[in-house]
Structure 1
Amino acid sequence: MTVTYKFIPACLICLLLTLFISTMPSAAVKSLSKTEIVAEIDDYVKKNMEANHISGASLAIAYGENMFYTQGYGAYSDGRKITARTPFPIASLSKSMTALTVLQLADKGLIDLDAPYVSYFPDILLTDDRVNRITVRHLLNQTSGLNDKVNPDMTKADQFQALQEIKKSLEQVNLANIPGETYSYHNPNYQYLALLVEQISGQKFAEFLHDHVFAPLGMTNTFSVSTTQQINENSAIPQGHYLLLGMPIRTDEPLWFIDGPAGVISTAEDMAKWMRAQYDPRLLSPNFMEQYHAAGQHAPYGMGWLASNDNVWGQTISHSGIFWTYKAEETVYLDKRLGISMMFDTGINAFVDYSAFVRGIAQIMDGGKAEISNINGRNMEIAIILLMAVTILWGGYSFYRMKKNKNRLTAVRRKLIFAKVNTLLPVLVLLFLSPIVSFIGGGRVIPLKGIWMTMPSLILWLVILCLVNIVRFIYRCRIYYHAIKESKRSAIPWTKANSTQRN
């Protein structure tokens, strides 16, 4: 009897354990060692880089209290290996750091987030009185009423060289929207915030970042620059690339003033420290830390972060960094105490999904499997090359058909109007590519060089299509008017000629 009483509870315990284990997430069931996880991540990153023609990258993973893993992939153009200590531009990932400096001053009572921005600059003379209603919070949330159309950023002919110069743009601008009502991602919002930090602290913005963010977190190899020219001149930074027909093309980053919104240069080791500080706060009080990681009123964009919350990953903050020759991605899963950041020596490209790297690594860390998407840079570039070949062959075949049937006047005349439309469409797309890209990009106004570096293969195909269509149209017109000339010379009325041809 005693044995039976002992046996039944033991069986119940075993049954409950079995049910519990079967319902556990895959991460716990898989139970891989760190060595196995790291090997799987390395394999995934390398294959994904190869599938997207990316020559160099750097990875940082923070997990719990530790720097879980940092690694460099690829090499410099001179053969030096990229490591976890290789400096990379992090582009717009810098915004979260700029936002932090503003909140640090607010935490000390030196800045009121809901005070008018211009109240800290009494010498500013405004053209548009609505600028008085822009608050510091509006700038942080990208709801200032400014956008690239009314306040040029990347397309500005003479780029600024220092933060003090940007006050002129605020004096002269006419707002696109009423402050606080419309979200519009605009880099100069964070230039104004960096200037505010200088105004209140009495320090240069780069010095304040170092003293109050980088140094306290031990980010010893992280620094900030004012323009992309300083990136191009720094031999420690791998040279950037853009992708043309699947080939990485080395080139300098176009000149752009980036102090505040995109000027930070960092390493994988330092980015792991930065991400760990997001769920192990040391630089802000709990109240301001909560505001720092919250979404904005009109969009997920809060204060230098895109904030989200779901049942799978919990509270998450993320941001991407975009240059024409560099790219960066960062996501911090606050509830899971996991941060993943990647930096690339290749810029934004229409065919490369850089965020897939972070998503795949997160799946591996969570015990799942990451697969390389078939819709990747390599396959898309192959498709474009085939499309170019088909376009050229189609053009050649259409010339052959027109030459063979050039005496069929009715067919030529009937198709002439259609040929005009067919010719104009790709030409119009090419001519109006800038506003089309601006519309797709939510109002961002991109310089022509940037558009080329983002989608060079697509543009090359459009150029080929335009040339083929234009030459076809000219040849068709030549046949048509030559036929009219011949018809008049033989003194045969047009309608009679058509009737004769049909009979």
Structure 2
Amino acid sequence: MMPRTKQRMLIAITCLLLLWTVLAKSVSALEVRDRTEILGDIDEYMIRSMKANHIGGASVAISHNDEVFYTKGYGTFADGQSITSETPFPIASLSKSITALAVLQLVDKGRIDLDEAYVSYFPELSPRDSRVRDITVRHLLNQTSGLNDRTNPDMTRTPQFHLLIEANRLLNEVELAHEPGTTYSYHNPNYMLLANLVESISGERFSDYLDRHIFKPLGMNHTFSVSTTQQINGNEAIPPGHYSILGRSLSRSEPLWFIDGPAGIVSTAEDMSKWMIAQYSGNLLPPALMNQFHSAGDIAPYGMGWLADQDESGGRTISHSGIFWTYKSEEMVYLDEQMGISVMFNSGLNAFVNYSAFIDGIADIMKGEQPEISFFNDRNMETIMIVLILATLIWGAYGYVRIRRRKKRLRTIRLILIMVGKLIPILILLSLSPLVTFIGGGRVLPWFGLWTTLSSPIIWLVVWSLVNLVHLTSYIASMFNHTKSGQLKADNR
């Protein structure tokens, strides 16, 4: 009996093992098929979205749990070379979270105190505005230092800085816009000062510190930091930047801008995946400091190089966008879901492109939902602008003919009212910079930035202004002719 029983048990175990193997293979095949479908959906979504927004090149990084889930490049260089997951892109203001980590590493070592006055680390400074002495390291990290673009120009500064120490010395002359810690104002020089602090306390050049203490430990071997945009323009490995005008994507070098600290990092999709994984599964900092790193500030969602929030399902998120005039980047890390998405583009800030929608669309696909491409995209809006420009020209020609054929003389009050109405587009053009500054939360943009961001609306406003000037000239000429004709008739009598 025993041998037969053992034989039956052996057969049963063998059958179970075979069944388990078959099931395991089926599950594995299902997982592979699902992953393949997900990646295919992401590719299709990226290609459609880039086409709808006239974006020629992009790079996507997705992390999930402790793995690099997907990285891929889209588009080509001007010479036809393909953009890949290892192609370097400027990440612009995504750099701020990395600068913040460098500061917090030195906090962890007891070399920096978050609530210590910044100037206490630089006794040689003698600020004219006494309130500068109240700015703490935390204020700089949270963008609540009291500095802003109006009182301390950033993109519009001429000449631009060349060294971090120059931003530091400026504190002697600057006048604060607000009391430190009372008002949130996004301001790049806050992070220049932090980079200078890291450089001073560590005794290492800021770019070298990042390489030795952050990039190399995380395996981000193709990531590096630059001081100015000139170092981006001169790097042939980086895809040339672009901006859109009337539906056409034009290549353009990034204007000179000192970006060391707030926006100077260049990275790849592969490396950005590793950076995002480290946010929820790495040992970047002790838990208490890590929690501060990922938390909102006291008076705004902006914390330490991140915007901290909760998504619709209640999970914690940290995010940031990066803006250059010819490059753009977006990053979102879902801390509780252990997922990160980063997208980098070789096209810049554009009023008609919702770059954050790329993150939302990819997140929808990852969650099994259907992404949508909004009607509000560059292709549709540029088409509307072209129609608007043509309509303005046709209306202008029609109006000119009507004015020339006009028989009655305009009254002076009527002419004044017409003149006021005709000056509207010119007034809009002249007030464009302060208007954008108001909408942009106090950011003062250079005229080149206004042009690349709003090129088509500016063209329309210029066309509208010229048409109105022609009309005004015609009205005045017509009025003069009527006056002269009336005078001649009076003389003949």
Tell me the TM-score normalized by structure 1: 0.90
Aligned counterparts of 1:235 and 1:31: Cα–Cα separation in 2: 37
User: Which amino acid is 2:362 matched to?
Assistant: I
The number of aligned residues is 462
Is structure 2 residue 81 aligned with structure 1 residue 80?
yes
Aligned position for 2:15:
none
Matched-pair contact (CA < 8 Å) for 1:313–1:333: no
User: Matched residues in 2 for 1:320 and 1:350: separation?
Assistant: 15
Is the Cα–Cα contact under 8 Å of residues 404 and 474 in structure 2 kept in the other structure? no
SS across alignment from 1:304: coil
Q: Secondary structure at the match of 1:69?
A: strand
**Match of residue 178 from structure 2:** 177
Rounded to whole Å, the distance in 2 between the matches of 1:265 and 1:380 is: 31
CA contact (8 A) 2:71 2:85 kept: yes
| 2:434 is aligned with 1:435 | yes
- Contact persistence 1:313–1:335 (CA under 8 A): no
**Counterpart in the other structure of 2:376:** 375
In the other structure, the counterpart of 1:448 is 447
Counterparts of 1:309 and 1:346 in 2: how far apart (Å)? 29
**Amino acid across the alignment from 1:33:** D
How far has the Cα of 1:108 moved from its partner? 1.1
Q: Read off the aligned partner of 1:462 and give its amino acid letter.
A: L
Q: Distance in 2 between matches of 1:208 and 1:227?
A: 17
Give deviations 1:93-148, integer Å, cap 9, x for gaps: 00000000001100111110000000000001111000000000000000000000
Q: Find the residue that maps to 1:491 and give its secondary structure.
A: helix
State the partner residue of 2:23: none
Matches within 5 A, 1:218-367: 218-312=219-313, 314-367=315-368
Residue 57 of structure 1 corresponds to 58
Who is 2:21 aligned against?
none
Partner of 1:425: 424
* CA shift for structure 1 position 413: 5.0
Structure 2 partner of 1:128: 129
Is the contact made by 1:128 and 1:174 (CA closer than 8 Å) also made in structure 2?
yes
Cα contact 1:413–1:480 (8 A) shared by 2: no
Counterparts of 2:162 and 2:230, CA distance in 1: 10
| Aligned-partner residue type, residue 433 of structure 1 | L
What is the Cα deviation at residue 313 of structure 1? 5.1
Q: Which residue of 2 aligns with 1:391?
A: 392
Query: Distance between the aligned counterparts of 1:415 and 1:400, measured in 2?
Result: 19
% identical equivalent positions? 57
AA aligned opposite 1:259: D
Q: 1:256 to 1:55 in 2, by over 3 A?
A: same
Structure 1 pair 260–398 and aligned structure 2 pair: CA distance change class (3 A): same
Q: Find the aligned partners of 1:40 and 1:54 in 2 and give their Cα distance.
A: 19
Root mean square deviation, CA, Å: 1.4
State the one-letter code of the partner of 1:296: G
1:409 match: secondary structure: coil
Q: Which amino acid aligns with 1:194?
A: A
Equivalent residue, structure 1, for 2:105 = 104
Q: Is 1:475 aligned with 2:467?
A: no
Whole-Å Cα distance in 1 between the matches of residues 32 and 289 of structure 2? 37
8 Å contact from structure 1 (residues 181, 298) kept in 2: yes
SS in 2 for 1:248: strand
SS where residue 143 of structure 2 aligns? coil
Gaps of 5+ in 1: 1-29, 493-503
> Could you report, residue by residue, the CA deviation over 1:204-225 in whole angstroms, capped at 9, with x for unpaired residues?
0001101111001000000000
Aligned to 1:154: 155
The 2-side partners of 1:391 and 1:419 are apart by: 17
Take 1:213 and 1:280, find their aligned partners in 2: how far apart are those partners? Answer: 15
CA distance in 1, matches of 2:312, 2:442: 32
Q: Which residue of 1 aligns with 2:409?
A: 409
Distance 1:119 1:129 in 2: 13
Mapped to 2, the partners of 1:300 and 1:385 lie a distance apart of: 38
SS at 1:426 equivalent: helix
Listed as ranges, the matches of 1:203-222 within 5 Å are 203-222=204-223
Does the 8 A contact of 1:31 with 1:367 survive in 2?
no
Distance 2:277 2:312 in 1: 22
Task: Give the alignment of 1:6-85 within 5 angstroms.
Answer: 33-85=34-86
Partner Cα separation in structure 2 for residue 333 and residue 283 of structure 1: 17
Counterpart residue number, 1:10: none
Give the drift of 1:280.
0.8
Q: Which moved more, 1:433-442 or 1:46-55?
A: 433-442
Cα shift at 1:32: 6.6
Task: Quote the Cα distance in structure 1 between the aligned partners of 2:312 and 2:347.
Answer: 33
Tell me, in whole angstroms, the C-alpha distance in 2 between the residues paired with 1:282 and 1:323.
Answer: 31
How far apart are the structure 2 equivalents of 1:79 and 1:429? 41
The secondary structure found in structure 1 opposite 2:249 is strand
What is the one-letter code of the residue matched to 2:282? P
After superposition, what is the alpha-carbon deviation per residue over 1:62-112, rounded to whole angstroms, capped at 9, x for unaligned? 000100000000000111100000000000000000000001100111110
What does the per-residue CA deviation read over 1:289-345, in whole Å, with 9 as the maximum and x for residues that have no partner? 000000011111000000001441510000000000000000001011010000000
Amino acid at match of 2:65: G
Tell me if structure 1 keeps the 8 A contact 2:315–2:336: yes
Encode CA deviations 1:230-281: one digit per residue, 9 max, x unaligned.
Answer: 0000000000001111111101000000000000000000000000000013
SS at match of 2:490: coil
What letter corresponds to residue 476 of structure 1 in structure 2?
Y
- Equivalent residues of 1:227, 1:256 under 8 A apart: yes
Match of 1:485 in 2: 484
For the 8 Å contact 1:313–1:336, the answer to whether it is kept is no
CA separation of 1:183 and 1:31: change in aligned 2, threshold 3 A: farther
The secondary structure found in structure 2 opposite 1:291 is: helix
Cα distance in 1, alignment partners of residues 198 and 132 from structure 2: 19
Aligned to 1:11: none
Question: Runs of 4+ in structure 1 displaced over 6 angstroms?
Answer: none
Q: Is the 8 A contact 2:233 2:253 kept in 1?
A: yes
* Residues in 1 aligned to 2:287 and 2:360: alpha-carbon distance in whole angstroms: 28
The alpha carbon displacement at 1:282 in A equals 1.3
Paired residues of 2:117 and 2:133 also in contact (CA < 8 A): yes
TM score, norm. by length of structure 2:
0.92
Q: How far, CA to CA, are the matches of 1:422 and 1:79 in structure 2? A: 50
> Higher mean Cα deviation, 476-485 or 235-244?
476-485
Name the stretch that deviates more: 243-252 or 414-423. Answer: 414-423
Partner Cα separation in structure 1 for residue 140 and residue 462 of structure 2? 40
Shift in Å, 1:408:
1.3
User: Which residue does the alignment assign to 2:22?
Assistant: none
Cα deviation, 1:379-414, whole Å, max 9, x if unaligned, reads 000000000000000000001111222x2125x656
> Does structure 2 retain, via aligned residues, the 8 Å contact 1:281–1:289?
no
Q: Which residue of structure 1 aligns with residue 115 of structure 2?
A: 114
Q: CA deviation at 1:418?
A: 2.3
Which AA in structure 2 matches 1:443? G
